Homo-oligomer: A and B are copies of this chain.
Amino acid sequence: MNSSDGAFRDWSARCLEQLEAALSEWVPLSAPAGLGQAMRYAVLDGGKRLRPLLCLAAARALSGAPTSSAALRSACAVELIHAYSLVHDDMPCMDNDVLRRGKPTVHVAFGEAQALLAGDALQALAFELLTPEDGSVALPVQALLCQALARAAGHQGMAGGQAIDLAHVGLAMGEAALRDMHKRKTGAMLEVSVHMGALSAGADSHTLVLLQRYAQAIGLAFQVVDDILDVTADSATLGKTAGKDQANDKPTFVSLLGLDGAKAQTQVLWQEALQALDQAQLRDDGALRVLAQRVVQRDH
């Protein structure tokens, strides 16, 4: 399977269809007083769905079977956490961004208070999805998935990374500190996406460790590419404001390593990810390989 391969295209098209249908079913229009509209606006019809695809790709790599309820719920849960973080990140007191995925951001469209609540409700909904009351996911699996997601989303993971980011605007930052920040801010959620997909397919601890190595490498590569695109792409291609990090004087891998150094770094990380997959000897790691390639070669 490679990026231009029909097998991957078919698989990802099928997954995206499942994901959109599931998100549309589970993000409730019925939530009161406009909250449902704001939640759906934040989640539906947008985004590359990289995290859920990583989750489903990891599940597929292990099981080979059609998507299980646990895997699909995990995939949607990581996307909800990602979506909520974007809603809050875009708010005036944070990045003050008005454009996201080519559309007005949630607080522009629905007001700041509703954006705040929608983000909060999306985080809770992620844990709802992981704990269905219909018996479709065994209770011990539900608990393990919640364990993993809570830690990735919270102070040790994404929220902690955002706090570091916030504290360093306009300040110098060494490569180790920058890596640590992104390991939490972006990496933790990419990593847990793979982890939850693997967990939902019953991965053993040896496989979980190798998949963690894969996920950590592409998690960091994702951020390096983000920094590269911030200086090389335009806003229309990105679907968000380009040049923003530079303008805000944020430390980035490009400001630290130079453009060529950053590009070389993505190649090293890509190879690390593929080596981890080689060692894991999974049933069908094709989708994981193509997703790694996409992370490194994406143009938005």
Contact = CB atoms under 8 A, between A and B. Distances in A.
Interface of A: 28, 31-36, 39, 84-85, 88, 91, 93-94, 111-114, 116-117, 119-121, 123-128, 130-131, 133, 139-140, 142-144, 146-147, 149-151, 153-157, 159-164, 166-168, 184
Contacts of A123: 120, 123-124
A142 B146 contact: yes
10 contacts: A28-B155, A31-B163, A33-B160, A33-B166, A120-B123, A121-B155, A124-B151, A124-B153, A131-B150, A142-B146
Pairs A-B, 4 closest by C-beta atoms: A124-B154, A93-B112, A31-B155, A127-B150
Contact of A160 (B31, B154, B168, B184): B31
- Count the copies: 2
Contacts of A94: 113, 116
Contacts of A150: 124-128, 130-131
A36 B155 contact: yes
**Which of A91, A116, A167 lies at the interface centre, i.e. has the most chain B CB atoms within 10 A of its CB?**
A116
Given A154-B125, A155-B36, A114 B166 contact: yes
A146 B120 contact: no
A162 B117 contact: yes
Given A139-B140, A143-B142, A154-B124, A34 B117 contact: no
Contacts of A32: 155, 160-161, 163-164, 167, 184
A164 B33 contact: yes
A139 B131 contact: no
Contact of A121 (B114, B139, B160): B160
A151 to B, nearest CB: 6
Contacts of A168: 33
Contacts of A33: 160, 163-164, 166-168
